[in-house]
């Protein structure tokens, strides 16, 4: 082998190693980012690095941008609050009374982990959390031991996290609260009811229920600083679900808005200033922003659809 050929082989090998390292770092960063729960939807879709996980008609699927077709993982029953964590996907099995299950990411037999209703699963700072719905306590899952209580004395609804705090809706009076994972201190963020909090940067976006009715999932969009301060309105449109995108605020009105808006105003909307643009008259719920697109469920058959705010097109996951 000539000197010139040896140099070329070494250079090619070096470039291959560097490209491999860069790609690995990219996926590691994406996986770490996906661990933080930030949106209190029903968790019907989850992102883990470059992989999407979702359940349709009792089956858990995975899909990547490189593999366009669905890959069946396991028969899970009606699964919500999908939470990829380490080598498993954890979820609430509605079919089995809301017990917490997990299944290996590559497939296998689902494993039951709790014997009671366990909801609102999320991961932050390397720990898996859930709410024991019978007691209202926020629990930290322990692999080999007894799960630990994190928040008690209040019924926790819709917890989300920024990595340092857990933000949740109080089951006592419906107000929005913030619990510090470091100090254990809990503070009120609002003095009025809230619903469906979403952490976005330094702000928490949430719905303010109509007539300030606690635990009512219909209202206008508000925000409050994560550090605490005065809450302010963002969009005074009655909605049941929303997603924040670069192209604007996507929100929906479904059957839950009966009595609050007229029937012909139900559907999916995009707001980017001025009047909200009605995209579709179909009823969608559980809007979730993932990489600039909005995943959502049809209210009647729970099939997953994707709305692209750039093209304003809706397609079905397949």
Phi, psi of 147 (to 5 degrees): -60, 145
d(CA 155, CA 256): 23
Residues 6+ apart with CB under 8 A from 145: none
pLDDT score for 229: 96
pLDDT score for 1: 47
pLDDT score for 308: 97
pLDDT score for 261: 86
**Cα–Cα nearest to 151, from 174, 122, 180:** 180
pLDDT in tens, the chain (318 residues): 454 443 433 333 333 333 332 323 233 233 333 433 456 567 888 988 888 899 988 999 998 865 567 899 999 999 999 999 999 999 999 999 999 999 999 999 999 999 999 999 999 999 999 999 999 999 999 998 899 999 988 999 999 999 999 999 999 999 999 999 999 999 999 999 999 999 999 999 999 999 999 989 999 999 999 999 999 999 999 999 999 999 999 999 998 887 888 888 999 999 999 899 999 999 999 999 988 999 999 988 888 999 999 999 999 886
pLDDT score for 70: 81
> What are the residues facing 138 on neighbouring strands?
131, 151
DSSP for 1-53, please give it. Answer: --HHHHHHHHHHHHHHHHHHHHHHHHHHHHHHHHTB--B-S---EEEETTEEE
**Cα–Cα nearest to 79, from 94, 99, 63, 100:** 94
Q: What are the angstrom distances between the C-alpha of 279 and each of 239, 285, 314?
A: 14, 14, 9
d(CA 187, CA 178): 5
pLDDT score for 217: 92
Is 170 within 8 Å of 205 (Cβ atoms)? Answer: no
Report the predicted TM-score, pTM, of the whole model to 2 decimal places. Answer: 0.85
pLDDT score for 35: 39
């Amino acid at each position: 082998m000539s000197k010139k050929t040896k140099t070329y082989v070494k250079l090619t090998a070096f470039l291959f190693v560097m490209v491999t390292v860069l790609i690995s770092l990219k996926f590691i960063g994406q996986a770490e980012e996906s661990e933080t729960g930030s949106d209190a939807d029903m968790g019907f879709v989850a992102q883990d690095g470059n992989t999407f996980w979702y359940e349709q008609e009792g089956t858990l699927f995975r899909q990547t941008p490189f593999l366009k077709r669905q890959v069946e993982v396991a028969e899970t029953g009606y699964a919500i609050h999908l939470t990829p964590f380490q080598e498993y996907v954890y979820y609430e099995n509605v079919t089995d009374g809301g017990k917490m299950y997990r299944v290996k990411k590559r497939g296998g037999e689902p494993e039951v982990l709790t014997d009671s209703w366990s909801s609102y699963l999320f991961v932050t700072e390397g720990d898996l959390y859930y709410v024991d719905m019978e007691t209202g306590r926020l629990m930290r899952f322990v692999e080999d031991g007894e799960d630990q209580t994190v928040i008690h004395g209040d019924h926790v609804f819709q917890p989300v996290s920024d990595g340092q705090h857990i933000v949740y809706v109080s089951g006592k009076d419906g107000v929005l609260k913030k619990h510090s994972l470091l100090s254990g201190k809990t503070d009120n963020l609002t003095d009025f009811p809230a619903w469906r909090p979403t952490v976005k940067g330094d702000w928490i976006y949430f719905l303010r229920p109509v007539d300030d009715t606690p635990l009512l999932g219909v209202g206008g969009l508000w925000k409050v600083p994560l550090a605490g301060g005065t809450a302010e309105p963002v969009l005074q449109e009655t909605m049941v679900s929303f997603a924040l995108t670069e192209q604007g605020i996507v929100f929906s009105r479904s059957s839950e808005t009966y009595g609050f808006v007229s029937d012909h105003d139900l559907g999916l909307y995009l707001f980017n200033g001025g009047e909200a643009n009605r995209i579709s008259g179909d009823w969608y719920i559980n809007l979730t922003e993932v990489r600039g697109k909005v995943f959502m469920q049809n209210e009647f058959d729970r099939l997953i659809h994707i709305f692209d705010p750039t093209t304003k097109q809706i397609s079905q996951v397949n």
